[in-house]
Amino acid sequence: MLSRNFSLSKHNTFGLDVMAAYFMAITDTRDLKKLRNDRIFIEEKRMILGGGSNCLFLDDYYEGLVILIENKGINIVSEDNDTVHISAAAGEDWTFFVEKMVNAGYGGVENLSRIPGKVGAAPMQNIGAYGVELKDVFYSLQAFDLNTGELVNFDCNDCEFGYRTSVFKTIYKDRFVILSVDFVLQKNPLLKLEYGAIKQKLEDLGVHKPNIKDVSRAVTHIRESKLPDPKILGNAGSFFKNPVIHNLVFDDLKKEFPDAVGFSNNHNTTKVAAGWLIEKAGWKGCRKGDAGVHKNQALVLVNYGKATGREIYSLAMEIQQSVKEKFGILLEPEVNVF
């Protein structure tokens, strides 16, 4: 049912008190087909919302239509001795999905434990953490084309996955509603433990021969120690992407700041830790009104209670400016701003 003046405060992890002029929760393709013929759909601007864990609303009123994806279902499509092909509905909670896979012994998504959001939003920005990205376990997805009303299948190449991006964030922004995502997971998984903190955490937990449950537990511990829980403190994870710069530029940065943190990205480029840049520019733990920079992870902006989207955004822009002045590096937001 299409609602008017619908509160989105429970549908954005910054916990902003935002109202949508029009709102509709979708559970299947029929809902979308019907909605396409509605006057509101035709006349109003629109946005597609998953878990609201990567978005920042600037104003307290969204003058348009918000389409929320709420379909459910996680099924095995096929399996053999080594792999299992799983299909998950876009409206499933990502953490619920990961836990289900980990408990079933299907490996591949354990490093992506506890990322807030829905399954459908995962390919949108190619979510990633602790050395794994969604594209590593992705098989295909099914999406509804709002322009034509048709169902379209996308494979890995079609999605053009990049660092926190895909075609759904660029050329096809707001055009496709992702309905389900198919994954290929492993029954005898090779664990990915290269990301330093995981090995350390497993040691701390006294685990010497880890399995996927142990890795999931280690990742959960690391996340809990660094990243604020949006249910307690509003936030959208990393606010900016880690900037990718030429190795020579990074070498110069290292000369001036020997403690600069960067990870080799490919032959020519380095991904610099934006958290380090922001901390070094003096922002870690800063607070302006109810908008702030998290005390344990400078890449995360938080809402202490009554911050507005504009206050958080203006803090982000101040940080961007100050990092640019100090290091000559431009930070690009990772969150979607509406």
Q: Which residues bind ligand EPU (CB under 6 A)?
A: 129-130, 226-227, 237-238, 241-242, 261, 273, 275-276, 279, 284, 297-299, 334
Q: For ligand EPU, which is the closer residue by CB, 214 or 334?
A: 334
Q: For ligand EPU, which is the closer residue by CB, 89 or 298?
A: 298
CB of 238 to ligand EPU, least distance (A): 3
Q: For ligand EPU, which is the closer residue by CB, 298 or 323?
A: 298
* Known active-site residue 79: no
* Known active-site residue 39: no
Q: Which of 92, 110, 133, 334 is catalytic?
A: 334
Contact of 140 with 153, CB cutoff 8 Å? yes
* Known active-site residue 334: yes
Q: Which residue has the tokens 């396409």?
A: 36
Q: How far apart are CA 18 and CA 208, in angstroms?
A: 47
Q: Is 250 helix (H, G, I), strand (E, B) or coil?
A: helix
Q: Is 134 helix (H, G, I), strand (E, B) or coil?
A: helix
CB of 328 to ligand EPU, least distance (A): 18
What lies within 8 Å, CB to CB, of 190 at 6+ separation is 107
Q: Which of 53, 166, 216, 238 is catalytic?
A: 238
CB of 108 to ligand EPU, least distance (A): 16
Q: Which stretches of the chain are DSSP H helices?
A: 29-36, 39-43, 94-104, 121-124, 156-159, 196-204, 212-226, 247-256, 274-280, 309-327
Q: For ligand EPU, which is the closer residue by CB, 149 or 285?
A: 285
CB of 237 to ligand EPU, least distance (A): 2
Q: Which H or E run contains 152? A: strand 151-155
Q: Which of 110, 113, 114, 164 is catalytic?
A: 164
DSSP 112: G
Phi, psi of 147 (to 5 degrees): -75, -40
Residue type (1 letter), 259: D
Contact of 159 with 127, CB cutoff 8 Å? no
CB of 105 to ligand EPU, least distance (A): 23
Q: For ligand EPU, which is the closer residue by CB, 53 or 87?
A: 53
Contact of 236 with 54, CB cutoff 8 Å? yes
Enzyme catalytic residues: 164, 238, 334
